[in-house]
Amino acid sequence: MQNKIKILHVVPTLKRDGAEVQLSKIFKQFKHVDVELFTFDMYEKGDSIISDLGNIKITSARSFFSIFYLHKFIKKNDFKLVHSHLPKSDIVVGIINKFNRKFSHIVSVHAQYGTRKGENKLKYNLTNFLWKYILNSSEGVIAISDKIKSWLILNKGIHKENIEVIHYGVEIKNRNKKNMMNNSIGMAARMLPWKGWDKVIQTAHFLKKEGVEFNLKLAGSDDEGYLKNIKNLIKKYDLEDNVEIYDHFSNIDKFFEKIDLFLFLSESEGFGLVVLEAIENNVAVVCSNISPLNEFVANISHCLVDRDNPKVIASLLEKYFKDNQKELKIIKKLQKEKIVKNFSIDKTVKKIEKFYINAINV
């Protein structure tokens, strides 16, 4: 392909979250795509991905009239494709596309919006009909997991033939052999109710009751004020001497250097990028046996668990920590082999570029 495809990606915010982090990595790998980025919020006062975007041209408009600005911007720059992410962007771009049919609209769905514990469901319910109509009218929908695809078809009525699953990918790096960190367990995610922080702390409680020596490191951004609930649980279970709490890591690799095992007991995930990153960092993962986590985490030695049984999970971790972590090393090795083979960022980018070509040639 000699001429690059000119594509505009539209996101609500540049806040450092799973979808935004994955996009920043994908943009760097494109070979046949010329990318620009439009956002309604640069998120400069918070933890933003701006520094990760390199030379990507970014345009922003935050006012009430931003939809009109975006409409003119798309028309002026003659984008062949506009790729939206997350419902706000999907709806805005979908409406613009009704008045400007010169570009093709692609939608990526990154989560089961409005279904998670503690999430504001009203805002999604109010726009559900319009969002469904826009997805079915688009040139194609990318679901980031098999779970998301099934949800779109069965619960949202999105046409099956319009959806393709393209999993998130991770950059495979040459990494040094990892040293053991004295039974150090880690959990990193946004501090939200459905992420399973309570289950992780309850597991730590049972570990302590069994006399296991360990430390637990927690990291994540607290934009919803959920940290106080986590601290209350730590105090309730008398775990203050076992637990360290960190702010969100801009470079998550630094966090993984500190731990032996990543414990992720989430109730619901669109994909679970941080779990993929943990495995790539040579950290063994124990996580909820839910889709999509079980789509990419190899279930070695029962490491996919029932999140509602912290006592059993604690017994499993106690077993892993025995014999100089011999079993944990096997889990780490086999989990890593699976993601290297199937979930590299290179494979993801190739699939996305092929999707774009097919969308243009429809």
Question: Domain ranges in the chain?
Answer: 5-169+344-360, 184-342
pLDDT in tens, 190-214: 999 999 999 999 999 999 999 999 9
Give the three-state DSSP class for 329. Answer: helix
Strand order in the sheet with 261-264: 243-246, 215-219, 184-188, 261-264, 284-288, 304-305
pTM: 0.90
Task: Quote the tokens at residue 301.
Answer: 């030695």
pLDDT in tens, 314-334: 999 999 998 889 999 999 999
Which CATH architecture fits 5-169+344-360? 3-Layer(aba) Sandwich (3.40)
CATH topology agreement for domains 5-169+344-360 and 184-342: yes
Residue 52: per-residue pLDDT: 92
Q: Is residue 2 pLDDT above 60, yes or no?
A: no
pLDDT in tens, 120-140: 777 788 899 999 999 999 999
3-state helix, strand, coil in the chain (%, to 5): 45, 20, 40
How many whole angstroms separate alpha carbon 245 and alpha carbon 226? 13
Pairing of strands 104-109, 81-85: parallel
> What kind and span of H or E run contains 318?
helix 310-320
Residue 4: per-residue pLDDT: 86
Task: Quote the tokens at residue 237.
Answer: 């279970």
Sequence-separated (6 or more) residues with CB below 8 Å from residue 151: 112, 115
Q: Is residue 1 pLDDT above 70, yes or no?
A: no
Question: Which CATH code fits 184-342?
Answer: 3.40.50.2000
